[in-house]
């Protein structure tokens, strides 16, 4: 698997444990980085997901970048966050 | 006023317009950077505040850094976001 491909997890209303499982699978398949994305009220959940991931994997992951902004959804703008996480080590 | 001093706006349950006014005052007093902070559910509101500020001031501000993490509050951990914004130009 190419390490330059970008994997994105969009956090919605499912249980955080499901997103954690998805990230674990992506990393186990050899991906180097994952982007955790959340829109609107899910921004809070995206940060929470990162914190849980960090508490479990510790030095096994590194926070690369956090982007925030807003995107158009029909007639209104919705804020988003993108948290880029790198897997460290093998 | 020294430009190295750090100003922090903690976003709570007040109207976003009040925080916008606070930031305007801080910048008008000569501060170069402001940190917008939000905990828990207010992370969403902090990102929203940044987006509104950006839509109003445009190139007048620049996003310097976004930090996320969690901090202990009594017996539990609460996620937070810190958005560092720089005033550009005079």
CATH of B7-87, one of 3.30.110.20, 3.40.718.10, 3.40.50.720, 3.30.70.1450: 3.30.110.20
Chain B residues interacting with chain A (CB cutoff of 8 angstroms): 40-41, 43-44, 47-48, 50-51, 55, 63, 66-70, 77, 79-81, 83
Domain spans, chain B: 7-87
Q: What is the pTM of this model?
A: 0.87
Q: What is the pLDDT of residue A2?
A: 47
8 A C-beta contact, residue B7 and residue B31: yes
Can you give the three-state secondary structure of B66-79, one letter per residue? EEEEEEEECCEEEE
Q: What is the pLDDT of residues A22-47, one digit of tens each?
A: 999 999 998 999 999 999 999 999 99
Residue A4 has pLDDT above 70, yes or no: no
Best residue in B36, B51, B61, B82 for a mutation probing chain A (most A CBs within 10 Å):
B51
Model pLDDT, residue A81:
96
ipTM, interface predicted TM-score of the complex: 0.80
Question: Contacts of residue B49 in chain A, CB cutoff 8 Å?
Answer: none
pLDDT at B2: 47
If you average pLDDT over every residue of chain A, what do you get? Answer: 91
């Amino acid at each position: 698997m190419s390490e330059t491909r970008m994997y994105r997890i969009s956090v919605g209303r499912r249980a955080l444990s499901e997103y954690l499982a998805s990230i674990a699978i992506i990393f186990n398949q050899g991906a180097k980085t994952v982007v955790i994305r959340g829109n609107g009220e899910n921004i809070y959940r995206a940060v929470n997901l990162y914190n849980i991931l960090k508490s479990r994997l510790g030095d096994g992951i590194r926070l690369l970048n956090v982007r925030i902004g807003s995107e158009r959804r029909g007639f209104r703008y919705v804020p988003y966050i993108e948290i880029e996480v790198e897997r460290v080590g093998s």
